[in-house]
């Protein structure tokens, strides 16, 4: 009886262990973000170039977020990582800058019918449409001087640079699948005023996993919009667009992400900027997830791995001490040593 009981206990223990292992292995295999295009990284088999692309495997979906700056480099990087682009659920193009969408021609060459979400912009590169009522009419003119001879179609369509691509244009923040939202915001920054950008928010059990392309509308605005989906932000990956920002602006954003939004972890890349990498690393410690080219970041919706490790309180205490100082991240001091170097 004792032997039978212990045998049973052993079997149960083994079984539970086996299920736990396979489940966590399955979760790890699925829930990850793989950086396919960026200008920094440690994978020598891949080519570094300015631009961004990531394969997002979260919540049972395979989503390609942006497509990089050059189709040949993108194709080569995709092959090195063994990523299959023919079974994507969909593609998201964050915005119309070429460092995020020039690889689309390669995606279409292997998957011509894939659904592509892109921002809706008047006469934009993704194609668009306008009601013909948008222009003023002059009935007194002879037909040959009137647009469409005076009989315009109800809707005037503008073409796309990828004529046969399966675009779905997004005009406002939209939940495109259960728990998967495209946040649509418009930049007000000089140089990109009126540029529309989509960010991908996946609402997981651990909070929002947020992918940002270039954050032209401002990383704080995007994160604030994401908290409308779920106040807990689990992870932000992508370009925070602080690549030319002054130190004060960097410190303000880092403080907002850490203190105001209480973001669990960051995986910054692309246009985040080198001084911002340094500031985020100081502020987030072990919750700064390295996201160089070729890296796969485990998103882990169970959250146990990151929670278990988390020296969060220590980090926060250190961070608050640093934030109270005049030059919290030592950026001003190090910049002073390189005085005259303008970005």
What are the residues binding Zn ion (CB under 5 A)? 97, 99, 214, 271
Is 302:266 a contact under the CB 8 Å cutoff?
A: no
Cβ closest to Zn ion, residue 99 vs residue 121: 99
The CB-of-334 to Zn ion minimum distance in angstroms stands at: 25
CA-nearest of 95, 139, 109, 110 to 239 is 95
Q: Strand pairing partners for 288?
A: 266
Residue number with CB closer to Zn ion (97 or 258) = 97
Instruction: With residue 333 as reference, give the H or E element that holds it.
Output: helix 331-337
**Could you tell me the smallest distance in angstroms from the CB atom of residue 60 to Zn ion?**
28
Overall residue count recorded for the chain in this entry: 343
> What minimum distance in Å lies between the beta carbon of 214 and Zn ion?
4
Least separation in angstroms between residue 39's CB and Zn ion is 10
Question: Rounded distance, CA 48 to CA 41, Å?
Answer: 7
- Report the residue number, 35 or 59, with the smaller CB distance to Zn ion: 35
Least distance (Å) between residue 106 CB and Zn ion: 18
Shorter beta-carbon distance to Zn ion: residue 52 or 261: 52
CB-nearer residue toward Zn ion: 53 or 282: 53
Q: How far is the CB of 194 from Zn ion (least distance, A)?
A: 13
- Which uninterrupted H or E stretch holds 169? strand 166-170
Backbone angles phi, psi at 339, to 5 degrees: -60, 145
Q: What's the token pair of residue 324? A: 């109270």
Q: What are phi and psi of 222, to 5 degrees?
A: -65, -45
Contact 125, 98 (CB under 8 A): no
Answer left, alpha or beta for residue 286, where phi above 0 means left and psi between -120 and 50 means alpha.
alpha
Collapsing DSSP states into helix, strand and coil, what is residue 313?
helix
Question: Which alpha helices (DSSP H) does the chain contain, by range?
Answer: 2-30, 71-80, 98-101, 104-110, 219-227, 247-255, 274-284, 304-309, 312-323, 331-337
Of all helices (H) and strands (E), which one includes residue 262?
A: none
Judged by beta carbon, residue 271 or residue 291, the one nearer Zn ion is: 271
CB of 195 to Zn ion, least distance (A): 7
Two tokens at 181? 């939202």
Phi, psi of 31 (to 5 degrees): -85, 90
Pick 208 or 212: Cβ nearer Zn ion: 212
The nearest distance, CB 215 to Zn ion, in angstroms, is 9
User: Would you say 97 or 120 has its CB closer to Zn ion?
Assistant: 97
């Amino acid at each position: 009886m004792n032997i039978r009981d212990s045998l049973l206990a052993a079997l149960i223990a083994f079984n539970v262990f086996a299920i736990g292992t396979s489940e966590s292995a399955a979760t790890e295999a699925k829930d990850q973000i793989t950086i396919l295009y960026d200008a920094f990284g440690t994978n020598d088999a891949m080519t570094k170039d300015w631009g961004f692309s990531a394969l997002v495997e979260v919540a049972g979906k395979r989503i390609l977020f942006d497509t990089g700056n050059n189709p040949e480099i993108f194709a080569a990087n995709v092959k090195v990582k063994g990523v299959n682009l023919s079974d994507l659920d969909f593609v998201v193009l964050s915005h119309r800058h070429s460092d995020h969408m020039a690889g689309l021609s390669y995606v279409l060459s292997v998957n011509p019918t894939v659904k592509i979400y892109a921002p809706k912009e008047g006469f934009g590169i993704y194609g668009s449409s306008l009601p013909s009522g948008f222009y003023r009419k002059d009935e007194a003119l002879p037909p040959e001087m009137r647009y469409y001879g005076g009989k315009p179609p109800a809707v005037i369509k503008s073409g796309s640079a990828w004529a046969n691509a399966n675009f779905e244009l997004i005009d406002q923040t939209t939940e495109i699948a259960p728990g998967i939202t495209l946040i649509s915001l418009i930049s007000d920054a000089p140089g990109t005023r009126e540029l529309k950008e989509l960010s991908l928010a996946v609402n997981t059990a651990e909070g929002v996993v947020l992918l940002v392309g270039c954050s032209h509308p401002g990383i704080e605005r995007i994160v604030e919009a994401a908290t409308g989906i779920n106040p807990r932000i689990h992870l932000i990956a992508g370009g925070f667009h602080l690549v030319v920002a002054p130190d004060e602006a960097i410190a303000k954003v880092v403080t907002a992400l850490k203190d105001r939004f209480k973001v669990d972890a960051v995986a910054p890349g692309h246009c985040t900027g080198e001084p911002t990498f340094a500031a985020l690393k100081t502020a987030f410690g072990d919750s700064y997830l390295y996201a160089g080219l070729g890296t796969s970041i485990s998103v882990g919706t169970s959250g146990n791995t990151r929670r278990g490790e988390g020296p969060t309180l220590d980090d926060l205490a250190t961070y608050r001490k640093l934030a109270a100082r005049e030059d919290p991240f030592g950026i001003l001091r190090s910049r002073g040593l390189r005085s005259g170097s303008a970005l």
